[in-house]
Structure 1
Amino acid sequence: MAIAAEERDARRDAGARLRAARREAGLTLRQLAQELEVSAATWSAVENGHTKIDDARLAQAAVILGADAATLRGTPPPVAGSWREFGPLRLEPPLAGALAAFVELGYHGATVRDIAQRARLSVPGVYHHWPAKQDLLVALLDRTMDEVLTRARAARAEADGSVARFANLVECLALYHTHRRELGFIGASEMRSLAEPARTRIAAARQEIQHMVEDEVREGCRRGVMATELPKEAARAVVTMCTALPQWWSPGGPSGPAAIARHYVGFALDTVRYVQGEPTG
């Protein structure tokens, strides 16, 4: 009985978030239902908590509404410390197939048939929930930015002092781009393939991470614990260094994610000319 009540509450909360996002986007219930290719009655049931929405449909709604999929889903942020922990990447078959195809062939080189083959689905099976290849790319990059931003915010909040926060951010980015190297790879290589308005929204999320690192470098310089004369450029170099990891790092190589992250924190501290005197973590 308790499980049923929790499920009912979760559906009601999800419906309320979707209704608010729809209204903010200026769409009527019928207009959104038409975009999603469902009946108005079905979507009304979703918004009223009577019907559960699957992840594929939710991701599609997020694209249409220009909203953050994790926010619509109500995904809680990780507890302190868990930003270092990574479980298996779980994606629905069409998204997993799209990720594999985009990494191997590139977005423009991959066809929906390529995606369907890797997802072990028919082409109509992919199109059933994903009207276009672009929707799959947007969903994957939304998933990427949702996760890396949540982890970066937790890593930064866990530390005291600009040096420790900077070191945590670098460790977080290095861990993400090794543990989630395929998502990181398309995050770095396929931004140019995004159409508006998704491109602006996802680019803003990337800029938020850049600004987090830049803010800590500027603060470190102000406090005299970092000595770089070019804090903005140094911060950009550090972030670029981390996001480039998927281009060469392999899980079969000699160094695992934790070792790579330790090395990269050292590289990053050298880049900003860390002055001994403040703990790094």
Structure 2
Amino acid sequence: MGKGLVKRTVMSRETLDPAVGPRVRALRQERGLSLRVLGEQVGVSAATLSQIETGKSAVRPARVVELAEALGVEPGALAPGVDAEGRTPDESIEERYRRWRVFAPLEIDPALRAALQCFTATGYHGASVRDIARRANLSVPGLYHYYPSKQAMLGALFELGMSELLARTAAAREEGRDPAERFVRLIEALALYHAYRADLSFLGSSEMRALAPRDRRQHARVRTQQQEMVDDEVEAAVAAGLFRSASPHAASRAAVSMCMAVANWYRPHGPLSPEAVARQYVGYCLGVVECDPAVSHRVQTMDY
């Protein structure tokens, strides 16, 4: 596997996203339940429930359903994709985005879709829970069956966006045969993502300060992981004589920032397709890293 490939599996038949535990803990505390009381309701000890909440114990879909019922939420609020019968997608997030150029519509619940629309239209602080519920065609209590708070919706959207982006770029990176090719694939994947998922990308850039401190720290770590994928390839390409930048670190940061900015201006009904934007940005970014002209021609004429 290529360097930086995301190892985390969002869900499978045997285990689930480690973020399930923190969601359970947040809901339990919000409802004023002790570990012992909630554990009794789902048939586990307080110690076992503590292990689940801290991510030290795997959580199977059937247990997610039991926890969701006890906490008064839909199973998908704890583990996106789990339905009321405990069924889940069979593939990991890495497998799902192996075809990293293919962008299907986002499969998210009505509450999260409405939150995304409201946050991108008016900003996080300008959107009320009532606004989100109205857009989702839900009552406010109905909205809370999906997520315990507006902050939880924001955190879920950030996690959704970065998980997808990391998986797509990791898959793209694996296709390159040398640092220059891997850099090109990474830039293509970044540009495609920020065009196809412009709403999620814009939210990630504009509302990071609105995240709860713990979520903000986690998101910052994931963004650093994403940036380091590109940093490593630029530095390796400079060392191999493929790129000529005297400041590879700064050049890498500039290239990623250019791709992120696509979300600020790209419109689906504009004159350029996401694929056309990606090809343009590959050329721009090869200029930023001062790619050797012969190498630039080779990597820009690879199969797309």
Report the TM-score, using the length of structure 2 for normalisation.
0.75
Match of 1:106 in 2: 123
Question: What do the CA deviations read for 1:182-224 (whole angstroms, capped 9, x no partner)?
Answer: 1111011111111121111111111111111111111111111
Residue number among 228, 252, 270 corresponding to 1:211 in the alignment: 228
- Paired residues, what number? 253
Match of 1:130 in 2: 147
Moved beyond 4 Å, runs of 4+:
17-22, 36-39, 41-49
CA contact under 8 A between 2:180 and 2:237: conserved in structure 1? yes
1:1-281 matched pairs, under 5 angstroms: 13-14=14-15, 17=16, 22=21, 34-35=28-29, 39-41=38-40, 43-44=42-43, 47=59, 50=62, 53=65, 54-58=75-79, 75-78=92-95, 82-278=99-295, 279-280=298-299, 281=302
**C-alpha RMSD of matched pairs (Å):** 3.0
Report how far residue 127 of structure 1 moved.
Answer: 1.8
The 1:126/1:267 distance shift into structure 2, 3 A limit, reads same
User: Aligned partners of 1:157, 1:112: CA distance in 2, in Å?
Assistant: 41
User: Aligned partners of 1:160, 1:75: CA distance in 2, in Å?
Assistant: 25
Report how far residue 41 of structure 1 moved.
Answer: 5.0
Report how far residue 246 of structure 1 moved.
Answer: 1.2
Q: Which runs of 5+ in 2 are unaligned?
A: 1-10, 45-57, 66-74, 81-89
Question: What do the CA deviations read for 1:119-170 (whole angstroms, capped 9, x no partner)?
Answer: 1111111122322111000000000010000011111111110110000000
User: Aligned partners of 1:228, 1:178: CA distance in 2, in Å?
Assistant: 27
For 2:28, the aligned partner's letter is Q
Q: Which secondary structure state, in structure 2, belongs to the residue aligned with residue 129 of structure 1?
A: coil
Which of the two has greater helix per residue?
1
Q: Which secondary structure state, in structure 2, belongs to the residue aligned with residue 107 of structure 1?
A: coil
Report how far residue 58 of structure 1 moved.
Answer: 2.1
Report the TM-score, using the length of structure 1 for normalisation.
0.80
User: Aligned partners of 2:103, 2:18: CA distance in 1, in Å?
Assistant: 32
Report how far residue 20 of structure 1 moved.
Answer: 11
Q: Which runs of 5+ in 1 are unaligned?
A: 1-9, 60-72
For 2:14, the aligned partner's letter is D
The 1:195/1:217 distance shift into structure 2, 3 A limit, reads same
Report how far residue 55 of structure 1 moved.
Answer: 2.0
With 146-155 and 119-128 compared, the bigger mean Cα shift is at 119-128
User: Aligned partners of 2:194, 2:60: CA distance in 1, in Å?
Assistant: 39
User: Aligned partners of 1:74, 1:194: CA distance in 2, in Å?
Assistant: 29
Question: What do the CA deviations read for 1:93-136 (whole angstroms, capped 9, x no partner)?
Answer: 11001000000000111111111111111111112232211100
Percent identity at matched positions?
A: 38
